[in-house]
Structure 1
Amino acid sequence: MILPTQQAERPVGAVALPENWMPDSWRGREALQQPSYPDLTALQAALDELQRLPPLVTSWEILALRRQIADAQEGRAFLLQGGDCAESFADCESGTISSRLKVLLQMSVVLVHGLRRPVVRVGRFAGQYAKPRSADTETRDGVTLPTYRGDFINAPEFEAAARIPDPRRMVRGHARSAMTMNFIRALIDGGFADLHHPEYWDLGWVGHSPLAEEYQRVVTGIGDALRFMETLSGTDVHNIDRVDFYTSHEALLLPYEEALTRQVPRHWGWFNLSTHFPWIGVRTAALDGAHVEYMRGLRNPIGVKVGPTTKPDELLRLIDILDPNQEPGRLTLIHRMGAAQIADRLPPLLQAVAREGRRVLWVCDPMHGNTESTASGLKTRRFGNIRSELEQAFDAHQAAGTRLGGVHLELTGDDVTECTGGARDLTDADLARAYRSQVDPRLNYEQSLEIAMLIVRKHQQLSSQHSL
């Protein structure tokens, strides 16, 4: 916490405020993926209210995350970013939130144990209420309505009234984000993440998982190590009863993001105080677009999704705009190519960034490039393709002399059947049993934990080869 006696922070060296930028300067650019609100008076009233509401995160939390991302850029930490594809207001309840937290905690335990380095935990929640869509409208049985764009904007029910963009939903979303954050902070401060008590993290439905035995060996090993250290020292090991946890969401709905962008005492510049770590999606990463213009002025660490159509020169120009001063911890590039394209499309980007000596954190999103539809029309992702893209990402970075420093996943702690394959070898026929996502398919607990174990095994394999 910032104490009253501390001096205000000042820009140092080459770091300075961006030129010709204000939180609303994006309004002079083309803003893609934005809803068309029918009542502009109601929109302004909602934004005025948001500007008066308390922030969801603090500037010192944001700067602490930047320092941890800087460590990940240098190979001293690993970023684990995961959560729902799109949060829903209905899921803002204690069981769903604690299940998400449990999954990420269990994954991070596997990663810390296997990678032998700290894990930076970033959730896709407390604000992931808006989603980009490939079309503005949706047609069913001859009826065409506006597309569902996330609970921040409209409702998923296929009814005309539900699909009208409602600006009051931003205020409701802010309240639910605050409740989510408060509950997560309370859990962590209350010892929910205490490594002495991993039983707090149990998810009952996976008691007989094929992965349970392997995970239990990891937990037992950590517990034995803790007891050994405490026996030697004669006292408890400190700082293992809680963890740092950060939030993230795609900064898609720009009026909402602007309303939560503020200056604070003792820290220079502008902070997006709706989240610790906002990112730009592939659909809105145009160099001259509104989203890039908005993000370039923030002091938050920021991410950018990089897809198979991204060209090396375009990526370098984007880096110049978003990180002109090459600040540690500033920029994360999240590549999402698809298992069939990553071998061809990723290496030129890695080589271009390395050649220019730019300091970024490379993260793999093996989910979004591997979405497909079944014969019945359900969207799914094959676990084999997710695994393949992740393994190929490690290999590509190894060959380029760069470092894969994190993973970005859509996942849930619920017993869903949305992605096929994995430990229980789910098939297309299994999807109907528990398909609950309103937008994109998510990994369930077992599949998420399997990804964590895969990362460890791949890292150890490459480290072994490198030492030969």
Structure 2
Amino acid sequence: MVTEIPTLEQLHALGAAQQPTYDDPAAVAAAVTRLRTMPPLVFAGECDELKAKVAAASRGEAFILQGGDCAETFVDATADNVRNKLRVLLQMAVVLTYAASVPVVKVGRLAGQYAKPRSSDKETRDGVTLPAYRGDAVNGFEFTPESRRPDPQRLLDVYHASASTLNLVRAFTTGGYADLRQVHTWNSEFVRNSPVGQHYEAMAAEIDRALTFMQAIGANPDEFHRVDFYSSHEALLLEYEHAMTRTDSRTELPYNVSAHMVWIGERTRQLDGAHVEYFRHIRNPIGCKLGPTATADEALDLAAKLNPTNEPGRLTFITRFGAGKIREGLPHLVEKVTAEGVDVAWVCDAMHGNTFETSNGYKTRRFEDVLDEVQGFFDVHRALGTTPAGILVENTGDDVTEIIGGGEELDELGLAHRYESVVDPRLNRVQSLEMAFLVAEMLRRT
């Protein structure tokens, strides 16, 4: 087992992709030095618990729901926003738990999702060219030279915003807010009051009867009143992730203590690149995105390097093909990886392969395309006799207008009403719950 973490210099020597260009190396070094002294945001034991649950999901004994913002912003790290995100994920999880009849592993894209890869280092508007916005971890969204300058002080801001977010999540999930009956009451209100919710009255009624039965027999376990909730983000910025890597005192093994689970993006999964080299050393459960260009041999090579001992729950492949490509591209990957005996959890990212720009200039996705990719994901696994371990959605608990379609029948013109994402479009509260009920029906058929 590889345990000695390479230095930052060694990682950058591999040609690290998608890193910001800072103009003050001394300020970067000072920020990294400060981060190394900060307390951990999560603990190694919690990461190990999540790893065991991912392993269960890979065997069909649990189901992973990973959701949250495409890119968090510092201004939105408030109690109201955190509560709304948590609430919609808990609501989705109740529906999926009932349909799948297995525990749902709740993983938030929060408390660290502040950096984003970009297709270009620069952005040009009206003849003015500035650095691209790479997330609040790097620079500001406002299109000015001052805002777009990569600022290493923001790495410390990421830490503090993540710490406050995790504190809120822990308070909510253990302080009664996540009570099962309360969450089901929210879903019942959605079914009663939403135009699209009426389609799901039957399943909501079934859940209600199940809860009434458990109450009648006096069943009242702790699990009814609290939930385990885990954090995750794309570990993109090497300075931040390296500084947040610590050796666990119990096992003497290195963990990234900025999140329970971290993943490698589609743009940074080069087998000989810095991110894969870093990830193969840490002991967290890790993910790796696989898009339509990924081959089965590449997947096998990544698995061999990232999980050489084939540890259950260690590695998740997060597929992002697009609705039009998943049924053709996914089977060969799953078939060959499975045939080689590789222990991996398969999770469907139905968002990133379905993004397009509208005629009025908004980046969006069609709800029906997102749903179709999830359906294709289930279809492929059903045909191969393998296990669909979970889904990843980019969503929010707010009533934004960023994705067209769905029961609300949001169109391109409606996007202008409340388009608030600074990077990629998200499912709103109603679309998220509609997605949960529709995926629940898919789970019942598997």
Normalising by the residue count of structure 1, what TM-score does the alignment of the two structures yield?
A: 0.91
Native 8 Å contact 1:363 1:405 kept in 2:
yes
Q: 1:81 aligns with which of 30, 55, 66?
A: 66
Q: 2:116 aligns with which of 109, 131, 136?
A: 131
Q: 1:51 aligns with which of 32, 36, 42?
A: 36
The residue aligned with 1:110 is 95
- Give the deviation of 1:196 after TM superposition: 2.5
The residue aligned with 1:210 is 195
Amino acid at match of 1:89: F
Distance of aligned partners of 1:93 and 1:215 in 2 relative to their CA distance in 1, 3 Å threshold: farther
Native 8 Å contact 2:91 2:187 kept in 1:
no
Deviations 1:397-438 (A, max 9, x none): 112222111001100011111000011111101000111111
Please list every run of 5 or more consecutive structure 1 residues that lacks an aligned counterpart in the other structure: 1-15, 464-468
Amino acid at match of 2:67: G
Q: How many residues align?
A: 445
Q: Determine the C-alpha separation between the residues in 2 that align with 1:216 and 1:454.
A: 12
Q: How does 1:25-424 map to 2 (within 5 A)?
A: 25-198=10-183, 201=186, 208-213=193-198, 218=203, 221-233=206-218, 236-424=220-408
- Give the deviation of 1:229 after TM superposition: 2.8
The residue aligned with 1:17 is 2
Secondary structure of the 1:196 match is helix
Native 8 Å contact 1:113 1:222 kept in 2:
yes
Secondary structure of the 2:288 match is strand
Deviations 1:46-88 (A, max 9, x none): 1111111111111111110001001001100000000000000
Secondary structure of the 1:239 match is helix
Distance of aligned partners of 1:459 and 1:127 in 2 relative to their CA distance in 1, 3 Å threshold: same
Amino acid at match of 2:88: V
Distance of aligned partners of 1:458 and 1:216 in 2 relative to their CA distance in 1, 3 Å threshold: closer
- Give the deviation of 1:165 after TM superposition: 0.4
Q: Determine the C-alpha separation between the residues in 2 that align with 1:127 and 1:93.
A: 14
Amino acid at match of 2:276: V
Q: Determine the C-alpha separation between the residues in 1 that align with 2:353 and 2:230.
A: 25
Native 8 Å contact 1:397 1:404 kept in 2:
yes
Deviations 1:191-230 (A, max 9, x none): 1110132378579999731233456665554444334234
Q: Determine the C-alpha separation between the residues in 2 that align with 1:39 and 1:222.
A: 57
Q: Determine the C-alpha separation between the residues in 1 that align with 2:318 and 2:40.
A: 26
Native 8 Å contact 2:287 2:317 kept in 1:
yes
Identity rate of aligned residues, in percent?
49
Secondary structure of the 1:113 match is helix
Native 8 Å contact 1:102 1:202 kept in 2:
no
Q: Determine the C-alpha separation between the residues in 2 that align with 1:155 and 1:28.
A: 28
Q: Determine the C-alpha separation between the residues in 2 that align with 1:393 and 1:268.
A: 38
Native 8 Å contact 2:191 2:198 kept in 1:
no
Please list every run of 5 or more consecutive structure 2 residues that lacks an aligned counterpart in the other structure: none
Secondary structure of the 1:333 match is strand
Native 8 Å contact 2:287 2:318 kept in 1:
yes
Deviations 1:355-396 (A, max 9, x none): 101110000001000000011221000111111111111111
Q: Determine the C-alpha separation between the residues in 1 that align with 2:214 and 2:365.
A: 43
Distance of aligned partners of 1:241 and 1:205 in 2 relative to their CA distance in 1, 3 Å threshold: closer
Q: Determine the C-alpha separation between the residues in 1 that align with 2:294 and 2:123.
A: 28
Distance of aligned partners of 1:231 and 1:388 in 2 relative to their CA distance in 1, 3 Å threshold: closer
Distance of aligned partners of 1:168 and 1:207 in 2 relative to their CA distance in 1, 3 Å threshold: farther
Secondary structure of the 1:161 match is helix
The residue aligned with 1:13 is none
Q: Determine the C-alpha separation between the residues in 2 that align with 1:205 and 1:225.
A: 18
Q: Determine the C-alpha separation between the residues in 1 that align with 2:355 and 2:94.
A: 28
Deviations 1:309-359 (A, max 9, x none): 011111110110000000011000000001111122111111110110111
The residue aligned with 1:466 is none
Q: Determine the C-alpha separation between the residues in 1 that align with 2:158 and 2:117.
A: 17
Native 8 Å contact 1:226 1:237 kept in 2:
no
- Give the deviation of 1:247 after TM superposition: 0.3
Q: Determine the C-alpha separation between the residues in 2 that align with 1:421 and 1:454.
A: 14
Deviations 1:153-176 (A, max 9, x none): 000000011001000001011101
Q: Determine the C-alpha separation between the residues in 1 that align with 2:80 and 2:48.
A: 30
